[in-house]
Amino acid sequence: MHLTVIARVLGIFLMLFSLTMLPPILVSMWYNDGATQAFSMAMGLIFGIGFLSWMPVRFVRQELRTRDGFLIAALFWFTLGLAGTLPFILAEDPGLSFADAFFESLSGWTTTGATVMTGLEYLPKSILWYRQQLQWLGGMGIIVLAVAILPMLGIGGMQLFRAEMPGPLKDSKLTPRITETAKALWYIYLSLTIACALAYWLAGMNTFDAIAHSFSTVGIGGFSTYDASMGHFDSPLIEMIAVFFMLVAALNFSLHFYAWRNRSITHYWRDSEVRFFTFIIVGGITITISALWITDTYGITESIRYGIFEMVSVATTAGFGTADFSGWPVFLPVMLFMAAFIGGCAGSTGGGMKVIRVLLVYKQGVREIRRLIHPNAIIPVKLGRMPVSDRILESVWGFFALYVVTFMVMMLALMATGLDQVTAFSAVGSCLNNLGPGLGDVAIHYGGISDTAKWLLALTMLLGRLEIFTLLVLLSPTFWRS
């Protein structure tokens, strides 16, 4: 374990993160909202801590191992979650407690979108900007951005990339060098953000709201600058723009890279994961619209409008709202919530178990049924025309088993704090899938639950963002043996 290198990398990350306080400072000065000093103090403290961590080991040059990458990924999210609390605590408004500030900060970083804050439209503009910015930085994983410059500092980045990127096929690279891979991902991410902001602005949002909501849309975070979320604008056009960019951001970014490089979009439909994702979204939308209309919850026009938006928002784990789906009739609230367990595609900014894992579990189940009928047959599991190795299938099943166990343990822990079954179930599912809104007492916000429950859910967000393995591997005695 190269602890000096790890300290050096974390110091660099903290110093880089301190620079992200500059945009909120400028926003605060522009709107004269009184939060400039809080962000300036936060910037100085974070930079100072990072500098003190980096300074003693600045000349250390060692290659990162895989184990170092896992430790850095876990420490990075926890450390940045802590650092991100400072503006929320130092600013007079909202002036959150430490537990609330850490929950809000980590919710932003992990793009969960669960919030303890209300009265958002009355908060300083810089605080609102900062919340949205946290989700944008966390959307693709700031580690992927940071590895673009690590080689210049004498540190290889592939170990970090493998530990951070979601999905079972982590060893694939878009370009031969990890630096170019990280740059390509962020160029695409930035381009989508700019396009989304322009679309929102042209659809009627003011400049501030357009940029702020583009951050959380492309990052699939779900934070808004209004308590009513997207419902504040009451605009079908804005909602359809959000639907489009949520779907785009929920696709594997490697597909966007190939589309950009080859000037073609035909490969999207050839991808098995995209086809399965489309089937889930279209099927869910059809059921939702039909149920809303048949039960006379809305007219046909409103059923289509709200059904499409809420299904896409929840299924991609964005968590924006135009209607309170927790109050919808029959099975709809649970069905929409269960769609978030599937989540977005691997290599996307979405949460959940990832579409490709669910597809592989389904294909493996079908194979086992066929094996019962033909015991001696050799039946490979394929994605498209390519067979999937047993090693990947074992990894997927291992993840699925750990996911279920983690969900059960965290749900029981939350119920032990006094939460009812529905609230505990939905809060764990929402945070583990990085969704945000839940059911029961957390349908609107998480401010009413106990601090103990908030800390448990913060751990659940970390487990979900780092896809369980990355965090739980640190608890293995084997990991710490030299």
What pTM, to 2 d.p., does this model score?
0.90
pLDDT the model gives residue 65: 72
User: What is the per-residue pLDDT for 25?
Assistant: 97
Answer for the pair 344, 278: CB distance below 8 angstroms, yes or no. no
Query: What pairs with residue 383 in β-bridges?
Result: 386
- Lowest mean pLDDT, pick from 175-179, 272-276, 419-423: 175-179
Answer yes or no: is pLDDT of 155 > 50.
no
Confidence at residue 424, expressed as pLDDT on a 0 to 100 scale: 95
Mean pLDDT confidence for 394-405? 90
The pLDDT score that the predictor gives to residue 390 is 83
Percent of all residues in the chain with a pLDDT value above 90, rounded to a whole number: 61
pLDDT given for residue 201 in this prediction? 97
Return the pLDDT at 348.
85
Asked whether the beta carbons of 155 and 11 are under 8 A apart, the reply is no
Percent with pLDDT over 70 in the chain:
91
Nearest to residue 151, comparing CAs of 142, 159, 163?
Answer: 159
Residue 169 has pLDDT above 70, yes or no: no
Mean pLDDT of 249-271: 87
Measured from the Cβ of residue 172, the count of other Cβ atoms closer than 10 Å reads 10
Per-residue pLDDT at 153: 35
Both structure tokens of 437: 């809104």
Q: Are 316 and 285 in contact (CB under 8 A)?
A: no
Please give the Cα distance from 416 to 82 (Å, whole number): 26
Higher pLDDT, 389 or 124: 124
Most confident of 121-135, 263-277, 317-331, 468-482: 121-135
* Number of other residues whose CB lies within 10 A of the CB of residue 199: 20
**Amino acid 121: pLDDT:** 92
Give tens-digit pLDDT for 222-245. 999 999 999 999 999 999 999 999
Residue 9, pLDDT above cutoff 70: yes
Of 292-301, 399-408, 460-469, give the lowest mean pLDDT range: 460-469
Grade residue 164 by pLDDT with cuts at 50, 70 and 90: low
Alpha helices in 297-354 (DSSP H): 300-315, 332-342
Answer yes or no: is pLDDT of 472 > 80. yes
Q: How sure is the predictor about 250, in pLDDT bands with cuts at 50, 70 and 90?
A: very high
Task: Report residue 21: phi and psi, to 5°.
Answer: -80, -15
Q: Are 113 and 135 spatial neighbours (Cβ–Cβ below 8 Å)? A: yes
Confidence grade of residue 45 (pLDDT, cut at 50, 70, 90): very high
Q: Which of 13-17, 56-60, 377-381 has the highest mean pLDDT?
A: 13-17
Q: Supply the pLDDT for residue 154.
A: 41
Q: How far apart are CA 311 and CA 283, in angstroms?
A: 10
Q: Which pLDDT value is given to residue 157?
A: 47
Q: Are 204 and 240 in contact (CB under 8 A)?
A: no
Each residue of 53-104: pLDDT tens digit? 999 988 777 776 777 777 887 888 899 999 999 999 999 989 899 999 999 9
Report pLDDT for 69.
Answer: 74
Q: What is the mean pLDDT of residues 4-26?
A: 92
Mean pLDDT of 116-128: 94
